[in-house]
Structure 1
Amino acid sequence: MDAPGGEDEAPLVVSVPVPEVDDGSPSEVSPPKNHVRDVHILSFAFLLIFSAYGAAQNLESTVNTENDLGTTSLGILYISFTVFSFVASPMVRFLGSKNALVLGTSGYLLFIASNLKPSWYTMVPASLYLGYTASIIWVGQGTYLTSAARSHARDSHLHEATVIGNFNGEFWAMFASTQVIGNLVSLALLGGGKANQVESIVLLDEGDIWSEFTKHIIRPALGVSGVGGAMAIFGFFDALCSLVAGQFTSGISSITLIMSGGAFLQIFVLLWLLLKYSLTSGVLGYVYPLLMAAIWGIGDGVFNTQLNALLGMLFRHHTEAAFAQLKVWQSASTALVFFLSPHVTFQAMSVLLVIVLLVSMLGFLLLTLHVENAFGHGH
Structure 2
Amino acid sequence: MAIELMGTHQEEEAPLVADVSEIETPKNRTRDVHILSCAFLLVFLAYGAAQNLQTTVNARGNLGTVTLGILYVSFAVFSLFASLVVRVMGSRNSLVLGTTGYLLFIAANLKPTWYTMVPVSLFLGFAASIIWVGEGTYLTSLARGHARDSNLHEGTVIGNFNGEFWAMFALHQFVGNLITLAVLESGADGSSSNKSLLFIVFLCSMTLGAILMCFLRKIDDKEEKVSEDSSVSFCSAVISRLKSVITPLLDFKMLLIIPLIAYSGLQQAFVWAEYTKDVVNPTLGEAGVGGAMAVYGAFDAIMRLDDQLSGLNLMVKLHIQCSLVAGRLTSGLKSITFIVCAGAFFQAVIFVWLSLKYSATGGVLGIVYPLLMAALLGIGDGVLNTQLSALLALLFKHNMARSTVMNF
Alignment-derived partner of residue 356 in structure 1: none
1:267 and 2:344 correspond: yes
Alignment-derived partner of residue 306 in structure 2: 244
User: 2 CA distance for matches of 1:54 and 1:272?
Assistant: 25
CA contact (8 A) 1:77 1:127 kept: yes
Q: Which moved more, 1:283-292 or 1:116-125?
A: 283-292
User: 1 CA distance for matches of 2:119 and 2:106?
Assistant: 12
Alignment-derived partner of residue 43 in structure 2: 49
Alignment-derived partner of residue 88 in structure 1: 82
Q: CA deviation at 1:185?
A: 1.5
The one-letter amino acid of 2:298's match is F
Alignment-derived partner of residue 134 in structure 1: 128
Q: CA deviation at 1:90?
A: 1.2
The one-letter amino acid of 1:101's match is L
Distance 1:37 1:125, change over 3 A: same
1:234 and 2:287 correspond: no
Q: Which moved more, 1:310-319 or 1:90-99?
A: 310-319
What SS does the aligned partner of 1:269 have? Answer: helix
Work out the percentage of aligned pairs sharing the same amino acid.
53
User: 1:349-364, aligned counterparts within 5 Å?
Assistant: none
Alignment-derived partner of residue 182 in structure 2: 188
1:253 and 2:324 correspond: yes
Alignment-derived partner of residue 378 in structure 2: 297
Cα shift readout 1:274-299 (whole Å, capped 9, x = no counterpart) = 67897699999977765554454355
User: 2 CA distance for matches of 1:223 and 1:96?
Assistant: 45
The one-letter amino acid of 2:185's match is G
Q: CA deviation at 1:73?
A: 2.1
CA contact (8 A) 2:20 2:144 kept: no
CA contact (8 A) 1:262 1:299 kept: no
Distance 1:146 1:306, change over 3 A: farther
User: 1 CA distance for matches of 2:148 and 2:160?
Assistant: 15
Q: CA deviation at 1:104?
A: 0.7
Q: CA deviation at 1:112?
A: 2.4
CA contact (8 A) 1:8 1:97 kept: no
CA contact (8 A) 1:172 1:304 kept: no
The one-letter amino acid of 1:60's match is Q
Higher RCO (CA < 8 A, seq sep 6+):
2
Cα shift readout 1:304-327 (whole Å, capped 9, x = no counterpart) = 6677788699589955xx65xx77
Alignment-derived partner of residue 165 in structure 2: 171
CA contact (8 A) 2:52 2:289 kept: no
User: 1 CA distance for matches of 2:106 and 2:182?
Assistant: 21
What SS does the aligned partner of 1:117 have? Answer: coil
User: 1 CA distance for matches of 2:388 and 2:158?
Assistant: 11
Q: CA deviation at 1:86?
A: 1.2
Pick one of 95, 107, 119 that aligns with 1:125.
119
What SS does the aligned partner of 1:149 have? Answer: helix
Distance 1:87 1:6, change over 3 A: closer
What SS does the aligned partner of 2:324 have? Answer: helix
What SS does the aligned partner of 1:45 have? Answer: helix
User: 2 CA distance for matches of 1:69 and 1:284?
Assistant: 31
Alignment-derived partner of residue 238 in structure 2: none
Distance 1:284 1:64, change over 3 A: closer
Alignment-derived partner of residue 94 in structure 2: 100
Distance 1:133 1:227, change over 3 A: closer
1:208 and 2:255 correspond: no
Alignment-derived partner of residue 145 in structure 1: 139
The one-letter amino acid of 1:10's match is V
Distance 1:299 1:185, change over 3 A: same
Distance 1:265 1:8, change over 3 A: farther
The one-letter amino acid of 1:235's match is G
- Which protein is bigger by CA-based radius of gyration? 1
Pick one of 10, 17, 20 that aligns with 1:10.
20
What SS does the aligned partner of 1:116 have? Answer: coil
CA contact (8 A) 1:84 1:135 kept: yes
Cα shift readout 1:149-187 (whole Å, capped 9, x = no counterpart) = 344344444444444344333323322322112221111
The one-letter amino acid of 1:145's match is L
What SS does the aligned partner of 1:190 have? Answer: helix
Unaligned 5+ segments in structure 2 are 1-9, 199-266, 315-322, 331-335
Cα shift readout 1:31-75 (whole Å, capped 9, x = no counterpart) = 435433322211111111122333443443344444333332222
Q: CA deviation at 1:84?
A: 0.8
Q: CA deviation at 1:190?
A: 1.6
TM-score, normalised by the number of residues in structure 1: 0.62
Pick one of 92, 96, 112 that aligns with 2:106.
112
What SS does the aligned partner of 2:346 have? Answer: helix
The one-letter amino acid of 1:76's match is I
The one-letter amino acid of 1:233's match is V
Q: Which moved more, 1:235-244 or 1:72-81?
A: 235-244
User: 2 CA distance for matches of 1:141 and 1:314?
Assistant: 21
